[in-house]
Copies of this chain bind each other. A is one copy, B any other.
Amino acid sequence: MAAKPPQDEIEAEEASAAPPLDVGRLGDLLGFHLRMAHVAIYRDFADTMEELGLTQKQLAVMELVAGNPGASQIDLANTLGTDRATMMALVNRLAARDFIERHPSAADRRRQELHLTKAGRAMLARARKLINTHEQRFIDLFSADEMDGLLAALKRIYKGG
């Protein structure tokens, strides 16, 4: 329902209801195009995952816990670039839905080791299938070389050259 780009540009289709404004200087800003692209994918993700009720960030947390059993909230926060309080709220939502469990660490009793529950693993499996079709929509826009270049560029931005 969200992205819904005009796949074929029908010339006969006169001025749509949405008059596109002149983006002016915005068009020169990397941040602007990055934000627009992010929003497009974010919405397609949200639409795709609507039936599961999982956001991009919630899925990221579940994938990280799945791949790093026993990770702490601080570990997740550092990896995803948020702070402790934000991650707390995120994990709380997932714990409330019984997807993630907290277990006190024996080695360091300040830490809570995070693990997926059985329900969490089942949800993740369902999510991965939906994600594949979601990703494919965007993969199809590019050749393999183009996609490699795009991913490399994005990594350079957030890993810092």
Chain A residues with CB under 8 Å of chain B are: 3-7, 18-26, 29-43, 45, 56, 60, 63-64, 66-68, 71, 75-76, 78-79, 81, 128, 131, 134-135, 138-142, 146-147, 149-151, 153-161
Contacts and interface: CB of A to CB of B under 8 A. Distances in A.
B79 A40 contact: no
A30 B38 CA distance: 10
Contacts of A141: 156-157, 160-161
**Interface secondary structure of A, over-half rule:** helix
A43 to B, nearest CB: 8
Contact of A33 (B18, B26, B76, B155): B155
Contact of A31 (B25, B26, B45): B45
Contacts of A30: 41, 135, 138-139, 147, 150-151
Copies in the complex: 2
A25 B149 contact: no
B138 A146 contact: no
A24 B128 CA distance: 13
B37 A157 contact: yes
B135 A79 contact: no
Given A5-B161, A139-B30, A154-B34, A71 B21 contact: yes
A153 B150 contact: yes
A153 B158 contact: no
